[in-house]
Structure 1
């Protein structure tokens, strides 16, 4: 059997873009072929099927998201300051015209009401993100307080990611997050 002549990570990154924009159901195999530049046989031989490729794309997106969160929190002067910086970043991202929400949240919403592996994977990855916030918060707060605050952070992330691109929305989102997460050391803007 011939070895694949492509960069697997590059194909996954291209697939993330397609699936993130369109979702699983609305992304046809023809679109996957066009986006990746691979022939259908190469996709099936290397990934199995569209669902398996989607799963790898979702896993990769989640890993990158967790890495980004860890980097932001690790480089901040405190966990709370890092969380503020993280929220400023996602608020800023949500104001771009090409804003596409969060791939994990979009997948969870697309698959809501379905008991399938993709919904479960998206939910699991969002749970892992919440656990990352909790672990960092435990450096400054009790375990129970950290768990509650991590859940609150996730509610606010969901809100921002779903609220999305609307003219003038950044200031409203910023005010809402600051009101809902008043325990964080927000800088005045």
Structure 2
């Protein structure tokens, strides 16, 4: 009878996510993962199969956590307030290993190599864009923004602004909080 693992799989995926988020796919070796997860090579392969398989799980966890935070914010404050608060929330996470979005970092790192994980990152970005579009559509239904705007166009522009903000937050001398406030203020003019 196989032994039951003596680890929390979700906690290991969280640790791997943070390492990949900070260092990227190429910058994270199997030895780095084994050390961070405190696993021997055989246990690592038995638990996750490969570095790519673990990276895919980490991307999925990162994306689902972001969607859950956005949905919770919308449930608590309504769609337009959630969209206004989300940019500042994205850059103020003190426990995040990086300010830049893990999905966009992955897409930029791996797309040139046509690595399948770049496609996965893009799919997660598209899901987040769809969620933004749904929130813009709800805001239109609530009368918070003009109904003449295309919610998908607003969502693409908004996501682009938030991703740019997150890259700017990594730079020295950039007041990312001011940019987040500008994004929020811009939504009031819709």
CA distance in 2, matches of 1:143, 1:32: 49
CA gap 1:183/1:86 in 2 versus in 1, 3 angstroms: same
TM-score, normalised relative to structure 2: 0.85
Residue 187 of structure 1 corresponds to none
Q: SS of the residue aligned with 2:111?
A: coil
Contact 1:19 / 1:27 at 8 angstroms: preserved in 2? yes
Contact 2:48 / 2:54 at 8 angstroms: preserved in 1? yes
TM-score, normalised relative to structure 1: 0.86
Q: Which structure 2 residue ranges, 5 or more long, are not aligned?
A: 141-146
CA distance in 2, matches of 1:132, 1:143: 19
CA distance in 1, matches of 2:60, 2:79: 25
The total of aligned residue pairs comes to 182
CA gap 1:35/1:160 in 2 versus in 1, 3 angstroms: same
Deviations 1:108-143 (A, max 9, x none): 111132222100000000100011111122223359
Q: Which structure 1 residue ranges, 5 or more long, are not aligned?
A: 185-189
CA gap 1:164/1:118 in 2 versus in 1, 3 angstroms: same
Residue 36 of structure 1 corresponds to 37
Confirm or deny that 1:54 pairs with 2:66. Answer: no
What's the C-alpha RMSD, in Å, of the aligned pairs? 2.4
Residue 159 of structure 1 corresponds to 164
